Structures are given as C-alpha cells and as structure tokens.
Structure 1
C-alpha cells in the first residue's frame, strides 16, 4: 500500500466512482483509480474502442478487481449504456473523473496553421465537448449523491510550444467546466479541474517535442517537479471528489510544483 494510503477510514470511503482514461499503469487516471481503492472507494473503469482490452489488462494491476465498461465519448448510445449500468449497479454516483483527450497528429507538433477542420473538430469533440456529453446524462446519479465531477487539464491560459490545437481544446474544456459548474450547481453537483504538470504518460509521449515541457518544469517549478510521479495529482483529484471540498466548484486546482505562478 502506498505511503499515505488509508489508515482507518479513507478520504473517499464508501464512495462510488466512475473513472475514465485508464490505458496503462502510467496513466494519471490509473493512479487515481489505485488510490481511490486504497482510500475505500468502489470504482468502475471505462475503455474505448481498441483501447478497451488494454484498459481491461491494466485494471488487473489495481489492488482490487473492478469492472471495465465500454465508453466512446462520441457515442451517445455508449454513454447511455454506462449510465444505465451505474443506475442498476449503484443508483448514485459520488464522483466522475474525466481523463480523456485526443487530437490527431496534424493538430500537434507545430502544425497549428495547417491543421484541417475535420481533425480540429475531432480534437474538440473528444477533448472538450465530451465533458458535457458525459456529465449531463450522469447528472441524476450525481445529484443523488451530491457528487463531484473532476477533469484533468493542462494549463490553457497561455500558448505552449507544440501543443497547438490540443491547447485550444483544453481552453474549451476549461470553459466547459465553468459552464457545467453553473448549470449543475443547483443540483448540488460540483465540477472542478486539476491542472497537472507534465507527467510521462502514453499520451504525453505521443506529443512531438514533449521534452520541452519536461525541461521547462525542472528549471522553473519552485517546488520542483518529478515527471514520473503522478501521486500528487492523484491525491488532489481524490480530495476534490471527497467531502472536504463541499463548497468548491468551477475551480482549477494547479498541481504543477508552482510552475504556473512563475513569470520568468
């Protein structure tokens, strides 16, 4: 059990959590899932398309067995199927982790001026609109538990090298979270984001020039930054899913070693 794992009652003891975005054990979402189980939550994972089998294999590395449901966030039918499963399984949803993002290769790597709309629209659909597409159908289950939606983002307040249209999608994602917080708040549902520093995941490795982020963080983050350690992100994510942030919504919590606060 990892350092800081539960002794007695965990921070999410008894909660029912839906966790998207687990591909490998290097995924940010995997460590959220692992820590959630260690802290007393019951979880269900999702996987999409050809990645579903990979998610199923990775799920076996968790401390406890859990189910993996197929979920393509561009498919309303699959979203409805997951909602129906959770309704029958739990009747409520205490937390939803959105850890999904994708952009075609043409949208990354310094090709900002040449990326075609059909590729940009794919990035926007999967990486931004999907937050609303997923949270809205789950709202009755989340409202039953006064639950929490948490999304993982990468600071979209500035333009980054090589990030290009994914950066634009993240800006839309962050705005979507604010509008969801406004729309779902009256039902007691919180919507917050964790803005993580760069972690060496499969998704990060697919970004040309990712090493530029690694070097920048090592040089500027006041607290330092370990690109191989996602534990701080997992802990912060679970804290937002817990009852400790009962009056916090529409927030972006930076877990980046303080990089975002430093101008030069």
Structure 2
C-alpha cells in the first residue's frame, strides 16, 4: 500500500463530495492513519462526513486564521502521533464581493480581499509552520490549486489568491527542502463541490472544459485529483517538490 504506516492530516473536508474527503478515503485505503480538521458551523458537517470514511476518524477544531488554534495544533497531534508524514491543505475561501463582481477586481475592498488572501494563500505557510515540529525527512505537504496562469471568468480575487498560493508553494519547497520535506500543489479542473457552487458563474468555467480537455473531464468525479494527491503524499515521488501537477484532463495544455 502506498501510505502504509504513514500519518496524514487532511483539512478542508466538508461533505463526501469534497476533494479532501476523497483524499482522506483513498489515504485510508492505502494504509494511512488520518485525522481531519474543521471549525465553527462546518464542524458538525465534517464530523458526519468523517463517519462515512472506511474507518471513522477524529475531527480536530482548526480555523487556519486563528493563531491560538495553530499554536496548539502540533501539541494536539503530538499527543496522538510522534510524527506527521503528510499534510493536505484543501482550504480556500473568498467573501462574496471577491467573486463574480460586475467590476471584477475593482469591486472588492481590502477587508474582503485580505480575508481571501489569509484563508486561501497565507494559511498554506502558516499551517506548514504550525505542524513543522512533527514533519520529518520524507514528509509531504500537498495543497489544492486551480490554475492561476490566466484570468478566469468570475474567479477574480480567488484567482489572485491562487497565484499567491502557487508562489508560496515554491518558496516553501525551497525552505523545507533541505530537511527532506516535499511541497507540491495539485491544480484540479473544475469540480462540482460545495465550494464550487458558491462561485458565481461557475458554469462559465466548467461548461467548456469537457470539450477542451483532450482526455475529457467529469466535473462530478474528484477521484483523479484525490489519487494524485495520495501519490504525492507517498514516497513514490521522492525528488519532486515545488511542482504544480495538473489534473484537469489536459485542458491546461491546449489553447482556448
């Protein structure tokens, strides 16, 4: 099994349709010991989803914008595990004003933009820092991305946040690489998750994708993305870091 005897923390699970849920399920099937995180009103929803995994797991309270939550994360995990082999960052959020505004980027004020950047970009580094005491040589940090190389309809400030995430992943790969810790992103094609439904004009993104992608693309199937994340969490890619792996049916490789 790819993840036998490995410990993995998965953020961002909301419902069984979540990409992160698929990652947690496959990680368990491949031998990993898994713990999820959630907070606030979403906590009970995540707990219900956790009970639908092959082996029900605990859900730790973690708001990635709360310094106290981050400060105690390593201690909480350390009470359970002596090391952390895998970290999955599947967290992203932007206030309504940041997405699908008639004025695009011009329609959001700083407070809303700051929230989007804090949750969707900065938290990648702050979460890695929080669990750093448990990461060891061979550990893998994987984040979920959406291709930020072009401007997408309605994506607006979340696209900017993802561009920052891509840059942050390269710097984290630089900073953690000397200790043998890998940092990579998986750029998924559009998937019909709860988070996607909150994006105004999501259909403008997802509609043409099936025809554009050389391999085709099923917006209802997160399995290919989850499999790629699990592969990156394993020790089968020991010299891959600072990479963005596209799992989008090949759409990124062809013109519009």
TM-score normalised by length of structure 2: 0.97
Mapping of residues 5-24 of structure 1, within 5 Å: 10-24=1-15
Mapping of residues 221-240 of structure 1, within 5 Å: 221-240=213-232
Q: Does the alignment pair 1:61 with 2:69?
A: no
2:41 is aligned to: 50
Q: Is the 8 A contact 2:35 2:57 kept in 1?
A: yes
Q: Is the 8 A contact 1:178 1:250 kept in 2?
A: yes
Q: Specify which of 80, 93, 97 is matched with residue 88 of structure 2.
A: 97
Q: Is the 8 A contact 1:139 1:184 kept in 2?
A: no
> Is there any run of 5+ residues in structure 2 with no aligned partner, and where?
none
Q: Specify which of 120, 126, 140 is matched with residue 127 of structure 1.
A: 120
Q: Is the 8 A contact 2:8 2:33 kept in 1?
A: yes
Q: Does the alignment pair 1:28 with 2:25?
A: no
Q: Does the alignment pair 1:109 with 2:67?
A: no
What is the count of residue pairs matched by the alignment?
Answer: 254
2:126 and 2:212 map into 1 onto residues whose CA distance is 36
1:3 is aligned to: none
1:108 and 1:125 map into 2 onto residues whose CA distance is 16
Aligned-pair CA distance for 1:146: 2.4
Aligned-pair CA distance for 1:140: 2.3
Aligned-pair CA distance for 1:223: 0.1
Aligned-pair CA distance for 1:57: 0.9
Q: CA RMSD in A?
A: 0.9
- Post-superposition CA distance 1:168-223 (Å, at most 9, x none): 00000110111000001111110000000001000000000001122121120000
Mapping of residues 145-164 of structure 1, within 5 Å: 145-164=137-156
1:174 is aligned to: 166
Q: Which runs of 4+ in 1 moved over 6 A?
A: none
2:206 and 2:169 map into 1 onto residues whose CA distance is 27
1:184 and 1:43 map into 2 onto residues whose CA distance is 22
1:140 and 1:187 map into 2 onto residues whose CA distance is 12
Aligned-pair CA distance for 1:138: 1.3
TM-score normalised by length of structure 1: 0.95
Q: Is the 8 A contact 2:74 2:133 kept in 1?
A: no
Q: Is the 8 A contact 2:22 2:223 kept in 1?
A: yes
- Post-superposition CA distance 1:12-36 (Å, at most 9, x none): 1111000000000110000000111
2:66 is aligned to: 75
Mapping of residues 241-256 of structure 1, within 5 Å: 241-256=233-248
> Is there any run of 5+ residues in structure 1 with no aligned partner, and where?
1-9
- Post-superposition CA distance 1:33-80 (Å, at most 9, x none): 011111111000000211111111110110101110000001121112
- Residue 244 of structure 1 aligns to a residue in which SS? coil
Q: Is the 8 A contact 2:138 2:235 kept in 1?
A: no
Aligned-pair CA distance for 1:137: 2.2
